[in-house]
């Protein structure tokens, strides 16, 4: 009896795992979109901080060493976030089946005939979207 219960429980657990995995896959694009929004907000904050650092650096005159270090720190933080945001955008765009504009690199729906960013024609690549 206990053996049967064990078997059934084991089966239920396996099924639950499978369902959970599928749901995770479906939600991954949404998750990445949310993550992208979070990163964009962080980037906005870091950009503001960078502005403040730069102001402090320019105004420090003479004793700029500490301000310079802060400025460099802000710059690398912004660089890292920009790279993360670009990566996320690319991953999401590819997951949505979008194609990269050959001129500016913006990800565009394959149904679009022109790039919304640089206005270059996408007709030639829109016909044969990349897989």
Q: Is 101 in the site for Zn ion (CB under 5 A)?
A: yes
Candidate residues 94, 103, 123, 129; the one interacting with Zn ion per rule CB under 5 A: 103
Between 10 and 97, CB nearer to Zn ion: 97
Candidate residues 104, 111, 129, 130; the one interacting with Zn ion per rule CB under 5 A: 104
Between 56 and 125, CB nearer to Zn ion: 125
d(CA 10, CA 43): 46
What φ, ψ does residue 33 adopt, rounded to 5°? -65, -40
d(CA 125, CA 131): 12
Between 20 and 105, CB nearer to Zn ion: 105
Only segment of 24-32, 50-58, 60-68, 96-104 that touches Zn ion (CB under 5 A): 96-104
Q: Is 58 in the site for Zn ion (CB under 5 A)?
A: no
Between 21 and 96, CB nearer to Zn ion: 96
**Nearest partner of 122 among 101, 97, 98, 106, judged by Cα:** 101
d(CA 37, CA 81): 12
Candidate residues 33, 106, 110, 125; the one interacting with Zn ion per rule CB under 5 A: 106
Query: Concatenated DSSP letters for 52-93?
Result: HHHHHHHHHTT--HHHHHHHHHHHHHHHHHHHHHHHHHHHHH
To the nearest whole angstrom, how small is the minimum distance from the Cβ of residue 117 to Zn ion? 5
**Nearest partner of 101 among 77, 73, 129, judged by Cα:** 129
Chain residues that interact with Zn ion, rule: CB under 5 A:
101, 103-104, 106, 115, 117-118
């Amino acid at each position: 009896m206990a053996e049967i219960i064990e078997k059934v429980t084991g089966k239920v657990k396996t099924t639950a795992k499978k369902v959970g995995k599928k749901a995770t896959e479906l939600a991954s694009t949404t998750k990445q979109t949310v993550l992208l929004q979070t990163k964009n907000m962080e980037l906005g904050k870091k950009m503001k901080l960078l502005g403040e650092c730069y102001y402090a650096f320019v105004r420090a005159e003479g004793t700029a060493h500490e301000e310079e270090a802060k400025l460099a720190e802000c710059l690398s933080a912004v660089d890292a976030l920009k790279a993360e945001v670009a990566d996320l955008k690319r991953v999401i765009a590819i997951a949505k089946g979008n194609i990269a504009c050959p001129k500016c690199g913006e990800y565009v729906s394959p149904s679009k005939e022109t790039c919304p960013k640089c206005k270059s024609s996408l007709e030639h690549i829109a016909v044969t979207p990349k897989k």
